[in-house]
Structure 1
């Protein structure tokens, strides 16, 4: 019998080995695109995905502060942080498709499985960058803040879309350009290319979230901007802080009058 999409996604979420998860995410996106997975969502997604054995998890407020200098130690800390963001992003996209795909439909599923494949590629290239500096993913502590935001919104697709792609991933559009300039100024051409690719892809990922959020708001017969602002105030525990990359956000379908009101 053909494997169901829900089965494949759940198995990937419960894959703890980082490289195996990368391969699983890319395989699922390809199999869905080629019609090799049955569009059946009759299996619940796990409450918590599996991550690599030995990964040291700390509360966000206990994470070591990263230095801003150009030392090897600081560079490793920066790229390790990026690796963790991209690794968790694989699970965020897979869970989005597996948890809500049954009600949101094939285009939603395909879009977020494609996002998962992109995030898997991002993690792989960042992990190789770490290896070139003599480090590896898991050599420094990480936090689970990104997944906690997903868990908070596990019962509401509109809330998940509002908080994860449209707040957390959108924040990457704000901070990555300055990071990119620092890496470029240091003469790290390989790192510059990696960050530029991630930034370009993340604009598209936020746009996917914004598109489907608008669809979810139509299903609820509520104005999208007002609904987004309400859900962010209700479910996002942090604060939206400037400066904002207004041009990248607008390209991703996030007009300034949406987020300026809650910043």
Structure 2
């Protein structure tokens, strides 16, 4: 399995879905981010045939599948309750916070690539959407990694938790559940969390980090919208009600319960409908302050 800067995915694997799996297996975060951004740009110009939607997971080499997801030896993965929380007034505190965000974005790269290669039988726009998401998540990761370097830190310096990927593992055989519980549940929490985090960073005087949060929130609205769109498509294909099915999936896969405050403006922009927003308002009526 090649994992070097000079290996060109699209010349080696002209099928986009094979290339996505190859990128997913890469372990070096910086190389993965560069590879994925290039793959997303290249894939946007490829004809539909390059996505080979007829491929099944079993059609991919077993050694690649065993290497999913590619990740570095560091950061150490621990329970979420053991991830340190530090005040952002100090350089180390800001580095710890931005490291946590970088870890989320690294996992988000992997999650988007996993959606591209894993789920067979989906329309080509599904694969195009998630490849685009992977490229934007790689850009976010690169922005955060560059800012960490300015704080004399690097990705891998602090422990992190693996909650996002654990849910991906649980939903590996069910694209409907994946769409319900990863982009529109776990990743949607970022829509709620971004404004108060941005405000803390701005108050600490880190305007560059606050600007990165602006970019991430802008793009994540689109990513969650993609999750919402494909969740509803999957529900329509299965002939089930999206609202009732979501509650069933939360129970079946033991997904985290949503807790406020919620960013209702961002969630509405990301495609949550009136019934979903009303359900959230019943549990936490106050949206977070905007930074």
Find 2:266's aligned residue among 231, 235, 248.
Answer: 248
Deviation at 1:5, TM superposition (A): 2.0
User: What's 1:158 paired with?
Assistant: 176
Equivalent position SS for 1:21: helix
Question: Is structure 2 residue 222 aligned with structure 1 residue 204?
Answer: yes
- Contact in 2 for aligned 1:25/1:117 (Cα 8 Å): yes
Question: Is structure 2 residue 166 aligned with structure 1 residue 134?
Answer: no
Q: How does 1:57-76 map to 2 (within 5 A)?
A: 57-64=77-84, 66-76=85-95
CA distance in 2, matches of 1:56, 1:211: 34
* CA-to-aligned-CA distance 1:117-157 (integer Å, 9 cap, x gap): 00000000000000000000001111211100110001111
- Contact in 1 for aligned 2:83/2:160 (Cα 8 Å): yes
- Contact in 2 for aligned 1:229/1:258 (Cα 8 Å): no
Find 1:35's aligned residue among 43, 46, 67.
Answer: 46
Q: CA RMSD in A?
A: 2.0
User: What's 1:182 paired with?
Assistant: 200
Normalized against structure 1, the TM-score is what?
0.93
Closer, same or farther: CA 223–199 of 1 in aligned 2, 3 Å? same
Find 1:103's aligned residue among 121, 127, 132.
Answer: 121
CA distance in 2, matches of 1:17, 1:52: 6
Closer, same or farther: CA 163–20 of 1 in aligned 2, 3 Å? same
User: What's 2:23 paired with?
Assistant: 12
- Contact in 2 for aligned 1:57/1:141 (Cα 8 Å): yes
- Name stretches of at least 5 consecutive residues in structure 1 with no aligned partner: none
User: What's 2:6 paired with?
Assistant: none
CA distance in 1, matches of 2:179, 2:254: 12
- Contact in 2 for aligned 1:2/1:38 (Cα 8 Å): no
CA distance in 1, matches of 2:149, 2:22: 27
CA distance in 1, matches of 2:160, 2:78: 6
State the number of aligned residues.
Answer: 261
Deviation at 1:203, TM superposition (A): 0.6
CA distance in 2, matches of 1:35, 1:69: 44
User: What's 1:81 paired with?
Assistant: 100
Deviation at 1:256, TM superposition (A): 5.5
- Contact in 1 for aligned 2:24/2:113 (Cα 8 Å): yes
Deviation at 1:213, TM superposition (A): 0.7
- Higher deviation after alignment, 201-210 or 218-227: 218-227
Closer, same or farther: CA 2–139 of 1 in aligned 2, 3 Å? closer
Deviation at 1:2, TM superposition (A): 6.3
Normalized against structure 2, the TM-score is what?
0.84
- Name stretches of at least 5 consecutive residues in structure 2 with no aligned partner: 1-11, 284-291
